[in-house]
DNA sequence: CGACTTGTTGATGTACATCAAGGTACGTGG
DNA sequence: CCACGTACCTTGATGTACATCAACAAGTCG
């Protein structure tokens, strides 16, 4: 059903990036921050943490002292049923907020695992309140991000509940390609996809075998190419059509 | 696939309830508010709105001047695909926040429809900023609620993606029963369920026919009873077992 | 080198969807 | 009052989109 290894984690911090120099911030997808906001973020950030590919960053049912932001790499969030079946909720890309649940509620309701080597920015959970109290614009951003995340999962749910296999696969691949594009990890209709067909299956509620056959159909129809982690879109319009995907829509978002 | 009628809406306000006298607030599931918080909520609340059963309260793609809280009744949130297939994201019960998306982002990404006659509390969208700025505890609550909603949808996604039909149905019914119970709409293992099997099907990504057959299995196994909108749990432990549902867990939550 | 991960493909099985028909309850207008 | 429609539930027959099983190829790793 799933495939969960869990190589070593390595939360070590060396020299950390000043939020003012954050490499993500210049990307057009992120809104501009004021100097005050940047100063606070810098003081809020308590460190960075590196995890190698395949590490479990947060575990369903546990509780972390930190809130994270993904600075570089790919990760994923998933839930597991008691008997091991696994559902990937979504993929995390640079700029995504991770572990808010454990900061705001009692414990994590899902796990987080890296797909590549990753760097996370660390924010101490107990200073989140400070953010809400003294930086309402940032608090608003946190809510915005959470609300957007909720919507993404809802879109995903609609896929799994009501789209056919080929529609689902087309949708997910297109979705991930576009998200990667927004953070500079894709371009020219090509992207490096660090996940396997098993991951796609676990995200779409399908078996690996059927996932494979479905992907092959898209490849044979010359809509995509995907080999050795290198992904390419050959016919975006047709792909979007199959996916019932709306190619418009694109809003600026905050990067806390 | 779906079944969407849309009777008339009637956003009329007469005398509105003071938040200090909110009938929901005393319920043990909601956290206590300070006098300051209550005073602000009262001033934030701009009215009430009644919708009869089957009304569309908010429409995917539109934009509302208000943020809502469900005061009484049942509603549901759903997305539709361009060709009409419909996925119910979740059900809304008294105390639930509705339409935050349209308040915080550009437009609604899903629709909201009432299942019974409903009363909503109205909050003007443009004063939400005031809440974030001057009432960080409430801002925190909004985030909390959003984060919890995200988790519920994630749980739902796990159901649709990885649970079998009988597990899904058991899970949903148990889940809804417990939520109803928390807001005083159920008790003694009995509840009034205002939705049809078509709704269950649209929530679980199944056909009505198969939903019916699955429900019958649960009835014939004497785990539940469900007739004429009257629902009863006969064997909660067994039902939870089938649903792979964790009967523990129960946290206080805010009611903004 | 074997062990393992990932992708691929065909054969078979099954959980579900679709189709079809009928039953009950409710409302409507004649 | 009945005749008629409509909403919802129910059940059996049939079809299919998917899962499961099995086997193998190619690459990687220790």
Which positions 166-225 on chain B have a beta carbon less than 7 angstroms from any atom of strand C? 166, 205-207, 209-211
CA of A6 vs chain B CAs: smallest distance (Å): 21
Interchain proximity B244–A157, CB inside 8 Å: no
Q: A-B interface: how many C-beta pairs under 8 angstroms? A: 135
Q: Measured CA to C1', what is the nucleotide nearest A199?
A: C6
Any chain B CB within 8 A of the CB of A67? no
CB-based contact B176:B199 (threshold 8 Å): no
Average pLDDT, chain B: 93
* pLDDT score for B5: 39
* pLDDT score for A14: 63
Kindly determine whether the C-beta of residue B26 is less than 7 Å away from any atom of nucleic acid strand D.
Answer: no
- Asked if pLDDT for residue A5 goes beyond 60, the answer is no
Task: For residues A138 and A10, give the distance between their C-alpha atoms in angstroms, rounded to a whole number.
Answer: 29
User: pLDDT tens digits for B7-40?
Assistant: 444 555 568 999 999 999 999 999 999 999 999 9
User: pLDDT tens digits for A172-196?
Assistant: 999 999 999 999 999 999 999 999 9
* pLDDT score for A251: 66
Kindly determine whether the C-beta of residue B198 is less than 7 Å away from any atom of nucleic acid strand D.
Answer: yes
Interchain proximity A89–B157, CB inside 8 Å: yes
Interchain proximity B160–A161, CB inside 8 Å: yes
Residues of chain A positioned with their CB less than 8 A from the CB of B204: 161
Residue B164 CA, nucleotide C16 C1', distance (Å): 10
Task: For residues B170 and A173, give the distance between their C-alpha atoms in angstroms, rounded to a whole number.
Answer: 32
Interchain proximity A140–B162, CB inside 8 Å: no
Q: What is the DSSP letter of B117?
A: -
Closest to A100 (Cα-Cα) out of A73, A59, A67, A53 = A67
CA of B5 vs chain A CAs: smallest distance (Å): 20
Kindly determine whether the C-beta of residue A238 is less than 7 Å away from any atom of nucleic acid strand C.
Answer: no
* pLDDT score for A1: 38
Any chain B CB within 8 A of the CB of A133? yes
Residue A213 CA, nucleotide C10 C1', distance (Å): 12
Mean pLDDT of B177-205: 97
What DSSP letter does each residue of A11-35 carry, written as one string?
----SPPPGGG-SSTTSTTBPP--H
CA of B129 vs chain A CAs: smallest distance (Å): 8
CA of B14 vs chain A CAs: smallest distance (Å): 32
Q: Is B126 buried (19+), middle (13-18) or exposed (0-12) by CB count in 10 A? A: exposed
Question: The pTM is what?
Answer: 0.93
CA of A126 vs chain B CAs: smallest distance (Å): 13
- Asked if pLDDT for residue A201 goes beyond 90, the answer is yes
For B104, phi and psi rounded to 5 degrees?
-105, -30
Considering only alpha carbons, which residue of chain A is nearest residue B143? A143
Token digits for B105? 């982002």
User: pLDDT tens digits for A15-72?
Assistant: 899 999 999 999 999 999 999 999 999 999 999 999 999 999 999 999 999 999 999 9
- Asked if pLDDT for residue A7 goes beyond 50, the answer is no
Which bases of chain D are under 7 A from a protein CB atom? Answer: 7-13, 17-22
User: pLDDT tens digits for A103-147?
Assistant: 888 899 999 999 999 999 999 999 999 999 999 999 999 999 999
Kindly determine whether the C-beta of residue A61 is less than 7 Å away from any atom of nucleic acid strand C.
Answer: no
CA A83 to chain centroid, in Å, comes to: 25
Tell me the angle at which helices B165-182 and B208-220 cross, rounded to the nearest 10 degrees.
80
User: pLDDT tens digits for B1-10?
Assistant: 333 334 444 5
CB-based contact A89:A58 (threshold 8 Å): no
Q: Strands, DSSP E only, in B60-204?
A: 66-72, 75-80, 86-92, 97-98, 111-114, 118-124, 186-187, 190-192
- Asked if pLDDT for residue A4 goes beyond 90, the answer is no
Token digits for B83? 């060709």
Tell whether the torsion through CA atoms of B95, B60, B6 and B194 is positive or negative: negative
Of B82, B136, B154, the CB nearest to A110: B154
User: pLDDT tens digits for A209-227?
Assistant: 999 999 999 999 999 999 9
Interchain proximity B160–A133, CB inside 8 Å: no
CB-based contact A224:A174 (threshold 8 Å): no
Interchain proximity B144–A205, CB inside 8 Å: no
For residues B191-215, one letter each, b for 16 or more C-beta atoms within 10 angstroms of the residue's C-beta and e for the rest, the string is bebbbebbbbbbbbbbebeebeebb
Any chain A CB within 8 A of the CB of B133? yes
Task: For residues A161 and B90, give the distance between their C-alpha atoms in angstroms, rounded to a whole number.
Answer: 13
Task: For residues A120 and A73, give the distance between their C-alpha atoms in angstroms, rounded to a whole number.
Answer: 9
Q: Strands, DSSP E only, in chain A?
A: 9-10, 47-51, 56-58, 66-72, 75-80, 86-92, 97-98, 111-114, 118-124, 186-187, 190-192, 224-227, 230-233
Residue B194 CA, nucleotide C20 C1', distance (Å): 28
């Amino acid at each position: 059903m799933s495939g969960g290894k869990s190589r070593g984690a390595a939360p070590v911090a060396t020299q950390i990036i000043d939020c003012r120099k954050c490499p993500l911030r210049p990307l057009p997808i992120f809104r501009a921050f004021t100097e005050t906001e940047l100063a606070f973020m810098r003081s809020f950030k308590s460190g960075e943490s590196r995890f190698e590919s395949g590490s479990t960053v947060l575990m369903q049912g546990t509780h972390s002292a930190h809130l994270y932001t993904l600075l570089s790499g790919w990760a994923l969030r998933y839930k597991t049923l008691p008997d091991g079946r696994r559902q990937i909720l979504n993929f995390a890309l640079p700029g995504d907020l991770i572990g808010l649940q454990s900061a705001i509620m009692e414990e994590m309701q899902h796990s987080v695992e890296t797909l590549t080597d990753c760097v996370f920015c660390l924010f101490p959970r107990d200073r989140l309140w400070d953010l809400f109290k003294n930086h309402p614009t940032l608090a608003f951003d946190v809510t915005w991000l959470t609300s957007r995340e909720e919507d993404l999962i809802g879109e995903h749910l609609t896929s799994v509940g009501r789209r056919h296999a080929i529609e689902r696969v087309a949708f997910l691949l297109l979705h991930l390609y576009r998200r990667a594009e927004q953070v500079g990890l894709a371009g020219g209709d090509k992207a490096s996809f660090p996940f396997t067909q098993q991951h796609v299956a676990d995200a779409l509620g399908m078996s690996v075998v059927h996932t494979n056959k479905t992907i092959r159909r898209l490849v044979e129809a010359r809509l995509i190419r995907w080999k050795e982690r290198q992904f390419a879109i050959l016919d975006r319009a047709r792909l979007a059509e199959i996916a019932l995907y709306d190619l418009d829509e694109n809003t600026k978002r905050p990067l806390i």
